[in-house]
Amino acid sequence: MALIRSVFQDELDGVSQSLVDLSNMVAESIAKATKSILTSDLKLAEDVIASDDAIDDFQHDLDARIIDIIARQQPVASDLRALVTALRMSADLERMGDMSHHVAKITRLRHPNSAIPSELTHIFQDMGTAAEKIARKTGSVIGSRDTDVALEVERDDDEMDSLHRELIGSLIAPQWAHGVETAIDLTLLGRYYERYADHAVSVSRRVYFLVTGKFA
């Protein structure tokens, strides 16, 4: 019985590590997507778009492993909660990868031109930095199950929300001079970064619930 439990714990630890690995993958993807949109780097954008398939495959394989563990081990109580929570976290992380993919697609759509007017590049630089920071911290939360850091992620999201509001303010200002097409591009980009951070917050909240049994 002790050996069976040890094997099961190893499987649970493997799921947790895979979630950390997935969070690192989506952190890298948003960093590259940000660089591509700021520099109009088509090759980098194509790399991000291609890497989304790898992220999807990783997530699908992880979900299949989790379902297999549930079927074989028939866990109860906290173990079952951990595995069901892992399924939900993997879905959020996969959606973060999708947001990076969408950013890169706008780079490709507007290449060789830049999608971002020069006076607004600082906002997207800051959004990209904030997004990567949130993703890296989310990976740390998954690995450590530190509830204090989990709550920090939600506070970090306030920075992204503030940048998003700043962007929208620029788009609706009377002095806006870049036309409707650019306004649409930037509205979409801002939404992608904002949703990226929201999914990270969702992951951190799930970790908090997993540890405490309470919603943050």
Give the chain's mean pLDDT.
Answer: 95
How do the domains of the chain map onto residue ranges? 2-212
| Per-residue pLDDT, 7 | 84
CB of 30 closer than 8 Å to CB of 121? no
Cα–Cα distance for residue pair 1/61, rounded to 1 Å: 28
Contact yes or no for 154/205 (Cβ under 8 A): yes
Q: What is the pLDDT of residue 215?
A: 82
What's the maximum distance between 2 C-alpha atoms anywhere in the chain? 71
* pLDDT at residue number 3: 55
Sign, Cα dihedral of 10, 15, 18, 19 = negative
CATH class of 2-212: mainly alpha
pLDDT of 115 strictly over 60: yes
pLDDT at 1 over 60: no
Q: How big is the chain by its Cα radius of gyration, in Å?
A: 19
Tell me the per-residue pLDDT of 3-45, one tens digit each, with 9 for 90 and over.
566 788 999 999 999 999 999 999 999 999 999 999 999 999 9
Of residues 151 and 6, more confidently modeled: 151
Dump pLDDT digits (tens) for 183-192: 999 999 999 9
* pLDDT given for residue 2 in this prediction: 58
What is the pLDDT at residue 4?
60
Buried b (16+ CB within 10 A) or exposed e, 28-64: bbbbbbbbbbbebbeebbbebbebbeebeebbeebee
